[in-house]
Structure 1
């Protein structure tokens, strides 16, 4: 029987899809991965099915990357000859995600190629509706937000319901005009923990596919995903996409089932079709016979406690943790020596009545000061000091005392050594330091930090993404940075920038040659920090600020309300090849430590001499943070207004514990960052989504107060008291590694 060409193609696609699904189900039965039950990234950059969204968002605190070769139909240009899509998304909250994409496509002449950067977001009601069974989740979202040029724009609403633990049905309506204009819908069927069958209708095509999820990688808790799909009414054959899911706190997931149903004794909800089918085959246990033979195992019987007491049974009493348990007898000198051996500098130990006073400066535990607090508290709790009942920790930075923590020694010891998590002891955290009068500090080696150099080595990446001349142009440099503590609050800094690789467009004579910099000493400065009052610190700097700019760079920071409020003023003046730079900025930061969430606004004259404002929202996930920011500035020469928005990722690029300074310390960067932005213009200056580089640039000092003195704005009472479990976890992690 003769079939028209389009029917032959349709039949071949269905056969290929069926073979692929059967192959996956067959060869992957032994491959197990504890997959997240949350949404995965679709081929369009939002969480969903293939080309349509569901009403959920990706798991909070995760970062998704995805590449796809799917060829989309662009209403303004047509169907491309080929297309590459690079997508990312961040689970910012349990109800919100934000992401972006780079589309690179070539068309048959006379149509030209397009390179398009875009942003998208989605909000979901799932945290509110998930507690009610069969109640649908609802979501709203936008794709290709802002700007004057759009190729994939749409606005949509969606709803999802999970009638079974392994089946999700979604439907919605989109306003287009470029994608999802009309009603759409689809299904996700989780066959195994690592296999999900997918199908959707995106208002243009019906699509079918399968998503495979690999186990977590050996050394980092990241997962690889691969999706195979095919559009039924489209000439493109098999679409292949590959992705990576990374938890931003770099911790492995601990989800292993439905805790509520397990605790209640009800059968657990089956999360896969295979689990549902095999669960039905499990036979219930046979009833216990009324009488047992003499050799049968006795059945445990619950006996009231009072009956045991009456019968004279002696019940074992748990041994409480006392000052003598897990404590090594020692002296103040022994305690100081243990802290010095652990790598702390500027260590002082003494007694003030019944209060043990411990001062230290941390240069090793550079992911978070909470790690250092945990290690110091653990060492102190293990070393018994006669007559000491209270503990006062004084935290120093660059020799300056900034914060103190007071608590009772015995509750602290019990809490740190308890086998199960318990309530933390009462901690009193204050920026107002108690007088040292009457403290008898022991004499001897305090491991002074001055003149102990530290060399920080880290990469620097300059990128040009999705321009008219290339998909991804870059310069990769290695930056060795020498930091030399001189005296209390004083530091000398020298930084080199050594390019090691760059793209062809940055070669001499090419379009982006100006972005290629030679190997050079790009910073040579001296800084002096001065505490003026509790929470009020000035940082004065002078020297070579950047490359050819010489001058001064100063900041004044005032932290109020336990860390919730911070006001900062930054001032800089310098000469650059005869021209003068003058910077004056003011900022206010509002920090909700319990939610790891900060908002900041900055206004004034920036480094590029543009004037305006920038607002940002920062969310911490462990020691990684994600920031969304918006810039609104006017350039000085042409008075054009620029509106740009972006996303920035910051994380420690160094081990959780760095090497000791003996005699020199080599370490990584505790706050490495990368940002990408796009134009969201409404002004005439950005009629084609042009991005002006280096706008609203804040010239942060190398020894910035926010980073080197206040631990990325987290060294405050609110943050410490909201994250006490990190202190206990740090001690339990490091105590056998000291």
Structure 2
């Protein structure tokens, strides 16, 4: 039962005053940052009101709260909220408010509300630099059919660091119960201790206060922070639930992998010494030492030779599957730590046996790494060994690192190879294990309905660009509505082979790559797909298309439903700004279900995790009206940073697991999307298999150059500590 008696008000503020008097001496001498913590709504803030702060870029936050303003009271409803800092100044997230978890809202009047919505808050840039104030604008319950919590607001705040105090004031228009956030609001956040905040606010109608206890920054591993908040007071008389909640936040995996590491600390003394020892090995290492180290680390299709007085090494990475850049960083670290005068002299001696060519050994020891995928040259990195060793040692970027994709194939063909295809990749199968999840989230039928399976994908390279791709699904668990007799039973996973394809990729001139895939797909269809993509020299622009045709193996599915042919003809364009960790995708054409439409996607890279927001407008087959959807998804790698060493069988996790949510917008109903906007979505598409999930470009490498060094430092840690 919430406390709202007038007798409680002076007691509450007396308690706050005592704490303030006790703490003021400890905070007056030293300023401290005030933590940004979640409110009980869809934004960071106090209790019901926001401040002008946002979640730190690259962080994710998951909150659970009890107590939601709904139907003219503070009701006992569960409030789940997931949010992330997409880029500097912007936080965005999704929220589910529910009373029950497993009942049919159409037939059971006791089910109550079950609402899925999106939110965003943007802190305006440059304002603080000139005024000392922060200003943010935001909205919750964006779009959707039933806007139960629709709120739009702007807010100004200012921090008084010497007092560990933040004040905020703003204005909002809202449909929230009790008039909350419908008018002028204000608040005060006070952080007397490194693990506690006290807040009081005027929510446009009443005064509220709460306390927040949290772990200080740096206490937990992986940059994580836990927090809990509890209502101390509310002026809302119709309240059946005290507002309280818990939250966990942390950086997404890989987000800090491009930050320059400082090894000049006591904690890093051992790593610095190991790194120094490794880099000194070039003074005595031979060419044989270099080749053996690369082979032992698991690099395959290894070729060693020369071109234009450079040592040239071509290799393929199948071990560092979070990001191909890590494989390049480890390989370059190994090469430059071994390639000294002895290794170059060995190369010159072997080259001298061929009278038709000549390798001139000079004091300037240049190397070129050619990265292969399925034996296709995809990217080259050229550098000078001493410059690169200095970069590894101190982190100051080497200005002699040149990344190129346009000439990779020609550079490979024009090199003189003295060692050919060591650790041949032919027939080296990867067994890629991944969860497969078909789900319905926050519908009238349940909070979370799902069909969960284990996808075991056997991918076997054959020749250059050729591979066999077979996937077997092993069902693990189904919720009630995916079981026999349930609403979505026909979409539950079955124990069977659902995909058997043969792929053939070719690298064409001018950064064009095309892949043809044919065979059995989606459990019931035979056909083929062609993907073709062109990348600009720096990789900021990509233009491509997908064309496919699939016919059902039977006229009807196992439930007696008629099966239609599936085909697609889709054009796409991607604009990449890797310095801002952002990509804009545009897609248009005919999708798998025969619908025609357009999708706009904003992709935000937070390390190796990808947060995407997309808007789809599409016209179903045989319909004259368009249907509109707003979707959000998070994609993460589910495999160790350094996978099992590739042998003739390599077991690993997936480089990309995606969880998506979608809601209908612009309608007075929120019926589930039944497959509109679908594409072939191959696991081994060009983007995933050959383009490092759209990141294999000079622009991406140049914007994330510290990642090369950090990958080698991490390799030294895991192999030699």
Same topology, TM > 0.5:
yes
> Partner residue of 1:381?
336
Work out the CA distance in 2 between the residues paired with 1:17 and 1:414: 59
441-450 or 346-355: which moved more?
441-450
> Partner residue of 1:543?
519
> Partner residue of 2:404?
429
> Partner residue of 1:228?
230
- In the TM superposition, 1:447-458 aligns within 5 A as 447-458=423-434
6-15 or 448-457: which moved more?
6-15
Q: Which has the higher contact order (CA 8 A, sep 6+)?
A: 2
1:57 counterpart = 2:54: yes
Work out the CA distance in 2 between the residues paired with 1:438 and 1:110: 74
1:482 counterpart = 2:488: no
CA shift digits 1:280-326 (9 cap, x unpaired)? xxxxxxxxxxxxxxxxxxxxxxxxxxxxxxxxxxxxxxxxx999944
Shift of 1:691: 3.2
Shift of 1:415: 1.8
| SS state at 1:130 partner | helix
> Partner residue of 1:270?
none
> Partner residue of 1:720?
701
Work out the CA distance in 1 between the residues paired with 2:423 and 2:126: 54
Work out the CA distance in 2 between the residues paired with 1:479 and 1:224: 33
The match for 2:661 among 655, 658, 676 is 676
Work out the CA distance in 1 between the residues paired with 2:422 and 2:82: 49
Equivalent pair of 1:226/1:242 in contact (CA under 8 Å): yes
Alpha carbons of structure 1 residues 91 and 8: separation in structure 2 relative to 1, 3 Å = closer
> Partner residue of 2:267?
none
> Partner residue of 1:567?
543
Equivalent pair of 1:17/1:209 in contact (CA under 8 Å): no
5-14 or 193-202: which moved more?
5-14
1:558 counterpart = 2:557: no
Equivalent pair of 1:375/1:735 in contact (CA under 8 Å): no
Alpha carbons of structure 1 residues 542 and 420: separation in structure 2 relative to 1, 3 Å = closer
Equivalent pair of 2:255/2:608 in contact (CA under 8 Å): no
| SS state at 1:625 partner | strand
The match for 1:688 among 639, 649, 669 is 669
Alpha carbons of structure 1 residues 50 and 354: separation in structure 2 relative to 1, 3 Å = same
Alpha carbons of structure 1 residues 200 and 488: separation in structure 2 relative to 1, 3 Å = same
Flag the structure with larger Rg: 1
Equivalent pair of 1:556/1:570 in contact (CA under 8 Å): yes
Shift of 1:420: 4.8
Equivalent pair of 1:81/1:105 in contact (CA under 8 Å): no
Shift of 1:539: 0.3
Equivalent pair of 2:156/2:169 in contact (CA under 8 Å): yes
Alpha carbons of structure 1 residues 492 and 17: separation in structure 2 relative to 1, 3 Å = farther
Work out the CA distance in 1 between the residues paired with 2:317 and 2:662: 35
When the two structures are superposed, what TM-score results if normalisation uses the length of structure 1?
0.82
Alpha carbons of structure 1 residues 322 and 13: separation in structure 2 relative to 1, 3 Å = closer
- In the TM superposition, 1:167-206 aligns within 5 A as 167-178=165-176, 179-206=180-207
> Partner residue of 1:334?
289
Work out the CA distance in 2 between the residues paired with 1:658 and 1:246: 24
**Structure 1: gaps (5+ residues):** 27-33, 256-320
Alpha carbons of structure 1 residues 86 and 17: separation in structure 2 relative to 1, 3 Å = farther
Work out the CA distance in 1 between the residues paired with 2:247 and 2:140: 20
Shift of 1:233: 2.6
Equivalent pair of 2:303/2:420 in contact (CA under 8 Å): no
Work out the CA distance in 1 between the residues paired with 2:48 and 2:258: 30
- In the TM superposition, 1:549-628 aligns within 5 A as 549-576=525-552, 577-578=554-555, 579-628=564-613
Aligned length: 653
Shift of 1:334: 2.8
Equivalent pair of 1:612/1:633 in contact (CA under 8 Å): yes
The match for 2:379 among 375, 400, 403 is 403
| SS state at 1:391 partner | strand
Equivalent pair of 1:402/1:535 in contact (CA under 8 Å): no
CA shift digits 1:159-191 (9 cap, x unpaired)? 111133410111111122334111111111012
Shift of 1:541: 0.6
CA shift digits 1:112-141 (9 cap, x unpaired)? 72211111222222x413334x63221221
> Partner residue of 2:271?
none
1:633 counterpart = 2:618: yes
> Partner residue of 1:90?
84
80-89 or 239-248: which moved more?
80-89
- In the TM superposition, 1:640-655 aligns within 5 A as 640-655=625-640
Equivalent pair of 1:563/1:718 in contact (CA under 8 Å): yes
Shift of 1:39: 2.4
> Partner residue of 2:302?
347
CA shift digits 1:35-60 (9 cap, x unpaired)? 97452221111111110011222212
CA shift digits 1:711-735 (9 cap, x unpaired)? 0111111111121111011112213
> Partner residue of 1:130?
128
Shift of 1:394: 0.8
Work out the CA distance in 2 between the residues paired with 1:8 and 1:352: 81
| SS state at 2:605 partner | strand
Work out the CA distance in 2 between the residues paired with 1:361 and 1:651: 23
Shift of 1:457: 0.6
Equivalent pair of 2:65/2:80 in contact (CA under 8 Å): yes
Equivalent pair of 1:333/1:442 in contact (CA under 8 Å): no
Equivalent pair of 1:479/1:497 in contact (CA under 8 Å): yes
CA shift digits 1:494-530 (9 cap, x unpaired)? 1122221221222211233233232221111110111
| SS state at 1:327 partner | helix
Equivalent pair of 2:188/2:199 in contact (CA under 8 Å): yes
1:394 counterpart = 2:405: no
CA shift digits 1:235-263 (9 cap, x unpaired)? 335322011112124567999xxxxxxxx
1:208 counterpart = 2:209: yes
- In the TM superposition, 1:295-310 aligns within 5 A as none
> Partner residue of 1:244?
248
Alpha carbons of structure 1 residues 354 and 331: separation in structure 2 relative to 1, 3 Å = farther
Work out the CA distance in 1 between the residues paired with 2:277 and 2:136: 54
Shift of 1:425: 3.0
Equivalent pair of 2:34/2:191 in contact (CA under 8 Å): no
Work out the CA distance in 1 between the residues paired with 2:680 and 2:21: 55
Alpha carbons of structure 1 residues 708 and 172: separation in structure 2 relative to 1, 3 Å = same
**Structure 2: gaps (5+ residues):** 23-30, 260-275, 346-360, 556-563
